[in-house]
Structure formats: C-alpha cells, structure tokens
Structure 1
Amino acid sequence: MTVSVLVPSSLTREAEDKREATRKLGYVARAAAVFRVDRLVVFPDSGAEGRWGDGFVETVLRYAATPPYLRKEAWGKRDELEYAGVLPPLRVASRTGSGSDDSGSLRQGIVTEVGSDGRVRVNCGLQHPISLPEPDEGLTEGERVSIRVSSRRPVRAKFVDESPPGFVVEASDLSTELSRDDAGVRIATSRHGEQLSVDRLGDIVADTAPRGTTVAFGAPERGLPEILGVAPPGGDEGGAETERERTDLPADEPDGSRFDLWLNAVPNQGSEVVRTEEAMFAVLACLSLTE
C-alpha cells in the first residue's frame, strides 16, 4: 500500500519572506513523516507561486527529507536553503530487522568515491565513509544508496535494495500521478467537498487501507478547484458526489486528472482559512485511523 501526498508548487505563495516560507514547508514535511507518507509530490501551479517559484518548494522539501547526516554532503550551500535552520527535525524512526541477515539499521548513503579496485566509498553518517564492494550494476559518485549496517565496531555493512526510512520528494504533474497503477483511492481535499463524518470515515478507511491512497491539497487562497479550473463540487453547499459523477467538468479533461472523492475533513471550521499544512494533519490523521 502506497500513500502519496500531492502539494502544489504555489504552496508558499502567501509567505511574506523566505524564513516564513521555509517554516511552512517544515510543517508539511513533519506531517508527511508523522503519518508515514511514502511519496510527497510537488505538482506545478505555474504562475501562482508568487516570489517562491523556480523549484523553491521542491528543493526545501527534498532537503527536509534528507537525513541530517547527509545534508551537508548532498546539498552544500544554496540560496533556497538560507533558512533551513528553522526546519523542525523529522526524527524518522530507523527500520530494524530481527533476523541475522536483516538485522541492523537501514541508512541512506551517498557514494563519495568509485575506486578502480572494485570498491566504493560511501558516506552513510558514520564517523568515516565506509568501503564496500561495488555491486554488479555499478555506481557513480554522488548517487544515493541504501545501506544495511549490522555492526559499527567493527563496521559491517552491505548494499540493499530497500527504501530507507521516511518519504521521498518528487516533482510530477497531477494527471500523471492520478493515472499511476498504485494511486489507490484518489482524494481531493476541499472545503467544498463531502463533509467527513464518523460514519463515513469508516467506509473511507476500509476502502483506502488495502488499496493505498493519493491525497491532493491546494494552496493558500487557491484551492484545487481553482488550480484545476473546475467548478467546486456541490457548489458552496458542499456536496457528497464524487468528481466522476459531476457534469460540470470541461469536456476535454483527461480521465487521469479526476478524483474518486472530494473530501472536507474540517467541517464547520472555526477559522476562515485552513492552511495547507493544517489540512494535511487533519486529513492524514483521519485516514491513518484503524479499527
């Protein structure tokens, strides 16, 4: 089961300065880490980013998702990361195994040197880079790899074909993401969507648990209906119909850009505006509930 969260490149459009924009993205990254999101995808909302375009959102989120012990090696100094110090720590839990073959911590590493002797040096956050036999498929300097460290004294480690703890950050468009085979239940979040109730939540969780979920969020003062250029589902009243049942969509809109459900997870909100990062916590908390 894959959980993908889609956020627009205009996510920080209302931020007054780079520090505030960075802090906002830190909360988005925290939500992704807390609720075990697998993929955090930035989709283009061209022309609506304000001052924070040119990949700012993607860069900061990628940095936030990078383990602290690799950030200096992976990123160096970049203008987008001027205020990276305000990002809250994610503290993603390490994955460990119980068997002798899979014991130890799973860590992300960066290849720092490919030698002519069939060995490579990898920085994976230990005191010094470690030397490992180069795998058959070969590696290049700067490549990200997964390392299973079974012992630190002496160091025993190996390359593994596993995803490290945490989430990955990618850039893609909405249509592509909603057309993926592993998209699962495709949910659009909107104040115009179906108001979430206790009874309805059980049905939604039962549907998403075995299939996975793709959840899309809008931007400040620019929700998903505005981004997609479609009329809000149900108008101002907040309807319960899915987008597949609506007839107000452009005739040429591709099937891949449609959702299975429009959902309002903060009914009767007490603030005029629910920020994207706040909506993420509200929606993902509901979808992560178990029986």
Structure 2
Amino acid sequence: MNPSAGSKKRKRAVVVHQNEFEEHVDTSKPTAVFAPTKGRKHTVSVAIPGSVIANALTHDQKTAVAGQIGRALAVSCVDEVVIFNDGQNHKYKGGQDHRNQGTVNEDDHTGWTDPDHFLYHLLSYLEVPPFLRRTLFPFHPNLRTAGALPSLDMPHHLRANEWCPYREGITLDNRDFTEDHYDGGKGAAPQTKRTKKSTEFGLALPDDSPNYTLIDAGVPQKIKVPVSIPPNTRITLKLSSTLESSRITSTENIGSTAEPVHPATPREEAGYYWGYTVRRSNDLSSVFTECPHDGGYDLSIGTSERGQRLSHVLHGCGNESSQKGTSENDGGIERLPANWNHLLVVFGGPSGVEAAVSADKELMAAGVKEAKDVFDAWVNICPGQGSRTIRTEEAIWVGLTSLREFVIQRDET
C-alpha cells in the first residue's frame, strides 16, 4: 500500500468535511445576539474606584483600562456603574512615565488631576450609541484616543437598518426645520425652502402648533413626537408594535407611532439590556447612601483576596432553601439569597477595598472595624491566584463572569 496515497485520501476527506461544515454554519456574523425574554425589574450595579485609572502611567494606558472595564460591564449586562473615590488617588498623581524620564505632565486631560472624572467620562462616552457621541460629547483631551477602543456593541447601539421596539435618539432644534430658521427668525421665508426642508425628511410639520420635537434616532428619517423637549437632549423612544421592520428605513413619517419613555422602560417592560448609567460618589459610603433605587441595594458584595470563596457562598443559590443565613450543613458559611432586587458588587483599586473603607470618614465614625462588615458578603473571586496581584480591570472580568450564572438564575425567577 502506498502511504502517500492514503494520506491524500485523508486530506480530501477533511476538505469535504470542512466544505459541508461551511455550508451549514456561517461564522462571519455574530450569533450571540441579545434576545429578551420578559421584563426585568431587578438591577446589577458595580462600584469601581477611580484609583484604577490613577495607577496607569500614560494617557493611552488609562484609556485602555477604561475600555477593558467598559467591555466587562457590557458583556455582563451591568445596569449601573458607580465611580467612587477610595482616598488613594494622591498616591499616583504626577507619577513616573514608562521611560523613567521624570514626572509626567499631562495637564491636557483629567487622568492625573481627577482620575475619577476621567473614568466617569470614558465610560459615559462608551455607553452612548456611536451616532450620538459627536453631539453629546464635544471634543475633549480625555477622548483623544477613545475612538480606537473596542466597541461595546450593546443592544441599544442599533444600526440604521436594524429593528427594535425601542431606540435612543437626540432632540433637534425645531428652528432648523421651520420657516423662521431660514429668515433669521425675523419673518417667513419663501414657501419653497420650507417645503424642500420638510419633504427631505418625510415630515408634515404642523403650521398651527409648536408643541412637537424632532428626534434623530439613527434612521434615515427624523422622528416627530408631540411634546416639546429642549434640543440636544438624549431620549429613549418606544416605537409602535405595529411598525414593521421594513418601514424603519423608509421615508415614511413614523413620528405618530413613537413616544418618549423612561430610559429604564426597555429593561422593565421587555427585558432588554439597555446599557448602564454612570454616577460618581465622593467615598464608599456615598455609593450606598446615594443609591437611586427605593430601599437601596438589598444585596451587596465586597471583593477581596481575604474573603470567602465565591463558590461557597453561591452554592445552592437556585434552591428554594437558599435564603440568606447559615446552617449546620453549610458549616456556618452564609449563603447569598436567591431573591434580590438590586445587587451591588464593589471592586477595590490597587490598595483594595480595605483602603477605601479606612479612608471613609463616615464609615469610621460609624464604628466599622473591618471592611467585610460593610457588605452582605465578603468574597474572594479568584482563590489560589497564580499572579501576585490581580489588576482591578481583570478582577471585574473574573468577578462578573463568576457571578453571571447567579444573576441569570434571578432573571429566570
């Protein structure tokens, strides 16, 4: 038998198998498209100290760290991110550059002077749908290289030809689309100009009432809603369920089938993940006291290498008996409750969550002895780590991935 002949037959068989596979599986497009199932009232929040940015050495490194964090938040469907001051930023201001050429002088952005703001700014920018960024975020040195960051590509970052019952948009100045605009507001312009401008966007503008607003929602035509909203305001729209996906790119006026809604409506009504909100807090205690939800966060998790193993506190979280508390069978380990409304996960900076607790005057005045006493659970998200340290941007990925199944179980209840 000729060995080379057998080898050729095997190669041909592999080629045939690959061809059959390629005919049935299209790997050129992503298949993990977010598919909502039902409305979701509960939320997931993450708190991160700005010192994670202060610890980076250059503008590009700071931007890259923000990009990694933004990707982790998007992939894990985080609803809120809180940037808090852990009292450690002063340790990194005016740090040394990677060439050891002396003190870095980057006064053109806030990465050194106010790292909390820098992280807040970058994460806010990344969350906004791309077509809105130019209007909502004027050029700023903080965003100098933000355009090179990986896209978050969240469900509300819709393309012009994609259909969704909800859309993000920005309000326009009605004067740009009325007769007064063409005559400097001093009188009526020729009718031809008004007709040309209105028909360009498929709109029939009312002559007898100014109580309407035009919205750019990333589709070819402008959307008109029967309420007056100031220009350059970001707005969430709900489109009528009777509107066919094929009509979204037509020149037909769909203003009558759209209405402004609360930004949480896509999540609460239909279960869409609709991006995250960003807020700042002066310290760790303010993360809790300034919570936007009635009743605050009913489940808080602090992360530390000195905490309990996350797998221990999550054990049996889907069982009916899995309520917060301890039992003899658990060996005294406190389990996380299966039913919660607002989850908060706190990550530490280079000095850990413990440093944030020690620097918090409110917590110290309240007599807090140990950092773990601030939280419902004090966990180690990566026991037995091989590296001496885990960077915060890495800890966020590891922690949120480890908690993902716990969150999904809550989604399904």
Of the three residues 144, 147, 151, the one matched with 2:237 is 147
1:201 aligns with 2:310: no
1:198-237 to structure 2, matched below 5 A, reads 199-203=312-316, 207=336, 209-211=338-340, 212-220=342-350, 222-229=351-358
Of the three residues 165, 168, 177, the one matched with 1:105 is 165
Instruction: Give 1 or 2 for the bigger CA radius of gyration.
Output: 2
- After TM superposition, give the deviation of residue 128 of structure 1 in Å: 4.7
Corresponding residue number in structure 2 for 1:130: 223
Structure 1 alignment gaps of length 5 or more: 97-102, 231-248
Corresponding residue number in structure 2 for 1:174: 284
| Letter aligned with residue 36 of structure 1 | C
Of the three residues 2, 24, 27, the one matched with 2:65 is 24
- After TM superposition, give the deviation of residue 258 of structure 1 in Å: 1.8
Corresponding residue number in structure 2 for 1:237: none
- After TM superposition, give the deviation of residue 155 of structure 1 in Å: 4.2
1:269/1:47 CA distance change after superposition, 3 Å: closer
Partner Cα separation in structure 1 for residue 51 and residue 253 of structure 2: 45
Partner Cα separation in structure 1 for residue 303 and residue 211 of structure 2: 50
Partner Cα separation in structure 2 for residue 276 and residue 104 of structure 1: 35
Partner Cα separation in structure 2 for residue 80 and residue 40 of structure 1: 19
Which stretch of the first structure deviates more once superposed, 200-209 or 60-69? 200-209
> Could you state the TM-score of these two structures normalised by the residue count of structure 2?
0.57
Corresponding residue number in structure 2 for 1:85: 147
Corresponding residue number in structure 1 for 2:34: none
Give a deviation string over 1:62-84, Cα, whole Å, max 9, x none.
Answer: 00111111111110211110110
Corresponding residue number in structure 1 for 2:391: 275
1:268/1:155 CA distance change after superposition, 3 Å: farther
1:284/1:58 CA distance change after superposition, 3 Å: same
Corresponding residue number in structure 2 for 1:160: 261
In the alignment, is the contact (CA less than 8 A) between 1:265 and 1:283 conserved in 2?
yes
In the alignment, is the contact (CA less than 8 A) between 1:178 and 1:259 conserved in 2?
no
Structure 2 alignment gaps of length 5 or more: 1-41, 94-110, 176-208, 267-273, 323-335
Of the three residues 249, 259, 262, the one matched with 2:378 is 262
Give a deviation string over 1:56-111, Cα, whole Å, max 9, x none.
Answer: 11101100111111111110211110110232111112499xxxxxx943122222
3-state SS of 1:63 partner: helix
Q: What is the aligned-residue identity percentage?
A: 30
Structure with the higher fraction of residues in helix conformation: 2
- After TM superposition, give the deviation of residue 44 of structure 1 in Å: 1.9
Residue-pair matches, total: 261
In the alignment, is the contact (CA less than 8 A) between 2:129 and 2:156 conserved in 1?
no
1:143/1:208 CA distance change after superposition, 3 Å: farther
Structure with the higher fraction of residues in strand conformation: 1
> Could you state the TM-score of these two structures normalised by the residue count of structure 1?
0.80
> What is the alpha-carbon root mean square deviation over aligned residues?
2.8
Corresponding residue number in structure 1 for 2:188: none
